[in-house]
């Protein structure tokens, strides 16, 4: 059986120049292995660690800013809640649309009395309808007569009163002046009052 010489025996047979080439190749292979198996994974782990630290620093900065601004955020929330409460306080409420319509009818009668006009009719019998804003509104028609001051006062009451009312149509008819020379007016106002169920 033929035996092969050992690598050390083969290496010993080489001349010095060939030995240097073999040693250089072995050193280059060893350096490549170290680079691929040790340095590159270590570099990747180091880079991932640095990215993680940078992300944690950014997160800590955001949290610190958030904690520092809690006072102003709370003031903004309180302001928005107060504004919402003032708005919803002006909307008609009732357990049913019929109860809200009765409230609207009574409110319009009070406005007419405060304006010193002769109220002929307040009709709130129409079906509630939802408008483009998503609010359900109760329609109403008010007929009255009086002078121009009474009409102006009534319109002011409707606009600035305790509940939000939207005037859709106003028709005014001038009547023959009375013996005292004052011009009498008759008018019909079509309006609607936004409505929510109960206290929601």
Q: Are strands 184-197 and 136-146 parallel, antiparallel or unpaired?
A: antiparallel
- Can you tell me which residue has the tokens 């092969």? 4
pTM, two decimals, is 0.53
Which pLDDT belongs to residue 171?
92
Task: Measure the CA–CA gap between 101 and 192, rounded to whole angstroms.
Answer: 10
pLDDT at residue 80 in the model: 77
> pLDDT below 50 — which residues of the chain?
200
132 to 41, 45, 91, 137, 194: CA distances (angstroms): 62, 58, 16, 11, 12
Average pLDDT, the chain: 81
- pLDDT value of position 197: 77
Beta-ladder partners of 169: 190
Contacts of 168 (CB under 8 A, 6+ apart): 190, 191, 192
Q: What pLDDT is attached to residue 11?
A: 64
pLDDT for 85: 60
Give the pLDDT of residue 2: 60
CA–CA distance, 119 with 142 (Å, rounded to integer): 8
């Amino acid at each position: 059986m033929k035996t092969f010489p050992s690598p050390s025996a083969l290496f010993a047979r080489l001349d010095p120049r060939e030995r240097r080439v073999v040693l250089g190749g072995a050193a280059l292979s060893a350096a490549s292995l170290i680079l691929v198996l040790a340095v590159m994974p270590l570099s990747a782990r180091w880079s991932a660690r640095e990215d993680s630290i940078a992300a944690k620093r950014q997160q800590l900065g955001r949290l610190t800013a958030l904690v520092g601004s809690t006072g102003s955020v709370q003031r903004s929330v309180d302001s928005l809640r107060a504004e919402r409460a003032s708005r919803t306080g002006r909307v008609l409420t009732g357990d049913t649309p019929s109860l809200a319509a009765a409230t609207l009818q009574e409110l319009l009668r009070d406005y007419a009395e405060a304006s010193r006009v002769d109220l002929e009719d307040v009709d709130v019998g129409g079906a509630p309808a939802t408008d483009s804003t998503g609010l359900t509104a109760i329609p109403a028609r008010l007929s009255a007569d009086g002078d121009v001051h009474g009409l102006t006062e009534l319109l002011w009451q409707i606009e600035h009163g305790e509940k939000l009312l939207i005037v859709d149509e106003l028709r005014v008819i001038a009547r023959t002046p009375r013996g005292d020379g004052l011009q009498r007016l008759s008018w019909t106002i079509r309006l609607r009052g936004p409505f929510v169920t109960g206290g929601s």
